[in-house]
Amino acid sequence: EPEVTQTPSHQVTQMGQEVILRCVPISNHLYFYWYRQILGQKVEFLVSFYNNEISEKSEIFDDQFSVERPDGSNFTLKIRSTKLEDSAMYFCASGRLAGAQETQYFGPGTRLLVL
Amino acid sequence: DAKTTQPTSMDCAEGRAANLPCNHSTISGNEYVYWYRQIHSQGPQYIIHGLKNNETNEMASLIITEDRKSSTLILPHATLRDTAVYYCIVRADNYGQNFVFGPGTRLSVLP
């Protein structure tokens, strides 16, 4: 069964450093998403991406964040200058189509720790 | 904010049915009810979804009341591996609509 994969599984970085989190969505999916979950808190939406552009973003997704689909398979989240409060699990998700009847499938996550 | 309310936690004996309730009294006609679960800090796992009819798949059954203001997720024979946080989410049919997760129900399956 196809799965969303994410790398790395864990990332430790120093405050102020740039990090890139990588995701390989399910191959025939067209809609891509990033969510994050701070330890002990709810899963929060960051951004959705379709047709090589952002379709929706939350207020969390400020100028420090960017997303890219550099090739036909990868989908990346870049945090330009990490802050302590960026420490969280980051989940990538993908969906075949948009619409309420279309399921999103989540990856296993990347645990980011900013020191 | 999430448009659903769920109990904070529930226990279920192994081998018995787990019935997880969800209230969504403000649900609109075009909104689907989704259930996901999250085991430890793994990625949310899709379980089932429906609009107004009851649904069943290999994992669970979803019972939606006729007025659509509440639903119940049924795990027919809970196992220890079903211990997780279960999220009930309503989702509108808008372009690229993301999921809004609430705190969910922490289900503990007990031996």
Distance CA B111, CA B96 (A): 41
Instruction: Write out chain B residues lying below 8 Å of A3, CB-based.
Output: none
Distance from CA of B99 to the nearest CA of A (A): 7
The answer on pLDDT for A72 being more than 80 is no
Looking at residue A71, its pLDDT comes to 86
A94 phi/psi in degrees, rounded to 5: -140, 155
Looking at residue B93, its pLDDT comes to 66
Looking at residue B94, its pLDDT comes to 63
Mean pLDDT of chain B: 92
Inter-chain touch B43–A55, beta carbons under 8 Å: no
Quick one: closest CA in B to A91, which residue? B43
Average pLDDT over residues A47-71: 93
- Confirm or reject contact between B101 and chain A (CB < 8 A): yes
* Contact indicator for A103, B46 with CB cutoff of 8 Å: yes
Average pLDDT over residues B56-77: 96
